[in-house]
Structure 1
Amino acid sequence: MRSEQPGEDRCEPTAPSGSGTADLDTDVCVVGGGPGGRALALALTRLGCDVVLLEKRDPARGTGPAFRGESVSPDGVRLLAGLGVWERVREAAHRVDRLEIEDAGRRVLDVRFADFPYRYRHPVELAQPTLLAALAELTGGQPGSCTVLEPATVVGLLVEGPAVTGVRASTPTGTVRVRAALTVGADGRYSAVRRLSGLAERARQLPLERDVVWMKLPFPADWDRRAYRVRIAGSSHGLFLPSTDGTVRVGLNIPKGGLRALRAGGLDQLHARLGQLAAQAAESARTGLRSWSDTALLDIFTTDVPRWSAPGVVLIGDAAHTLSPVLGQGVNHALADAVELAPLVAEALGRDRRVRGRALTGALQVFQRRREPHVRRSRALQLRQERMFTLTAPAATALRRTLYRTLDASPALRRRVLAPAYFPGRRPDAARDEADCPSEVTPV
Structure 2
Amino acid sequence: MTIRTEVCVVGGGPGGRALALALVRLGRRVVLLEQRAGGGRAFRGESVSPDGVRLLAGLDVLERVRGHTHEVHRLEIADGGSRVLDVRFESFPYAYRLPVELAQPVLLSALTRAADERGGCTVLEPASAIGLLVDAGAVRGVRAKTADGTEEIRADVTVGADGRYSSVRRLAGLDHSAERTPLERDVIWLKLPFPAAWDRRAYRVRISAGRHGLFLPSTDGTLRVGLNIPKGGLRELRSGDIGQLHARLAELAPELEREAAEAILGWSDTHLLDIFTTDVRRWSAPGVVLIGDAAHTLSPILGQGVNHALADAVALAPLLAGALEAPRSGRQAALGAAVAAFQQDREPAVRRSRGLQLRQERMFSLAAAPAAALRRTVYRVLNASPALQRRVLAPAYFPGQRPGPAATPARTEQRT
Instruction: Tell me the secondary structure at the aligned position of residue 193 of structure 1.
Output: helix
Identify which of 388, 394, 413 aligns with 1:443: 413
2:19 equivalent to 1:44: no
Instruction: Tell me the secondary structure at the aligned position of residue 350 of structure 1.
Output: coil
CA offsets, 1:38-97, max 9 Å, x none?
Answer: 0000000001111000001120627xxx32110000000000000000000011000001
- What pairs up with 1:420-435 in 2 under 5 angstroms? 420-427=395-402, 431-432=403-404, 434-435=405-406
2:116 equivalent to 1:137: no
CA offsets, 1:13-33, max 9 Å, x none?
Answer: xxxxxxxxx110000000000
Rounded Cα–Cα distance in structure 2 between residues aligned with 1:67 and 1:53: 21
The one-letter code sitting in structure 1 at the alignment partner of 2:5 is: T
Deviation at 1:395, TM superposition (A): 1.0
2:32 equivalent to 1:53: yes
CA offsets, 1:409-436, max 9 Å, x none?
Answer: 0000001000000001333xxx13x25x
Deviation at 1:284, TM superposition (A): 1.1
Q: TM-score under structure 2 normalisation?
A: 0.98
The one-letter code sitting in structure 2 at the alignment partner of 1:344 is: L
Instruction: Tell me the secondary structure at the aligned position of residue 371 of structure 1.
Output: helix
Contact 2:213 2:228 in 1 (8 A): yes
CA RMSD of aligned residues (A): 1.0
Contact 2:210 2:367 in 1 (8 A): yes
Deviation at 1:266, TM superposition (A): 1.4
Rounded Cα–Cα distance in structure 1 between residues aligned with 2:111 and 2:303: 20
Rounded Cα–Cα distance in structure 1 between residues aligned with 2:46 and 2:147: 30
Q: Which residue of structure 1 lines up, in the alignment, with residue 62 of structure 2?
A: 86
Rounded Cα–Cα distance in structure 2 between residues aligned with 1:285 and 1:33: 33
- What pairs up with 1:170-249 in 2 under 5 angstroms? 170-249=145-224
Higher mean Cα deviation, 258-267 or 307-316? 258-267
Deviation at 1:171, TM superposition (A): 1.4
Could you list the runs of 4 or more consecutive aligned residues of structure 1 that deviate by over 2 angstroms after TM superposition?
Answer: 437-444
The one-letter code sitting in structure 1 at the alignment partner of 2:172 is: S
CA offsets, 1:173-209, max 9 Å, x none?
Answer: 2101100000000000000000000111121000000
Identify which of 317, 340, 347 aligns with 2:292: 317
- What pairs up with 1:297-308 in 2 under 5 angstroms? 297-308=272-283
Deviation at 1:280, TM superposition (A): 2.1
Deviation at 1:440, TM superposition (A): 2.9
Q: Which residue of structure 1 lines up, in the alignment, with residue 2 of structure 2?
A: 23
Rounded Cα–Cα distance in structure 2 between residues aligned with 1:391 and 1:439: 40
The one-letter code sitting in structure 2 at the alignment partner of 1:387 is: R
Contact 2:13 2:39 in 1 (8 A): no
CA offsets, 1:222-254, max 9 Å, x none?
Answer: 111110000001221000000000000000000
Contact 1:43 1:339 in 2 (8 A): yes
Contact 1:121 1:439 in 2 (8 A): no
Instruction: Tell me the secondary structure at the aligned position of residue 59 of structure 1.
Output: helix
Contact 2:139 2:288 in 1 (8 A): yes
- What pairs up with 1:18-417 in 2 under 5 angstroms? 22-59=1-38, 61=40, 66-142=42-118, 144-417=119-392
Higher mean Cα deviation, 28-37 or 164-173? 164-173
Rounded Cα–Cα distance in structure 2 between residues aligned with 1:354 and 1:303: 35
Identical columns (%)? 69
Rounded Cα–Cα distance in structure 2 between residues aligned with 1:438 and 1:408: 28
Rounded Cα–Cα distance in structure 1 between residues aligned with 2:253 and 2:51: 30
Deviation at 1:296, TM superposition (A): 0.6
Contact 1:344 1:363 in 2 (8 A): yes
Contact 2:192 2:263 in 1 (8 A): yes
CA offsets, 1:133-188, max 9 Å, x none?
Answer: 0000000122x511111111111000001100000011122101100000000000
CA offsets, 1:270-310, max 9 Å, x none?
Answer: 00000000012222111111211110100000000001011
Deviation at 1:358, TM superposition (A): 0.4
Deviation at 1:439, TM superposition (A): 3.8
Deviation at 1:119, TM superposition (A): 1.6
Q: How many corresponding residue pairs? A: 414
CA offsets, 1:95-115, max 9 Å, x none?
Answer: 001000000100000000000
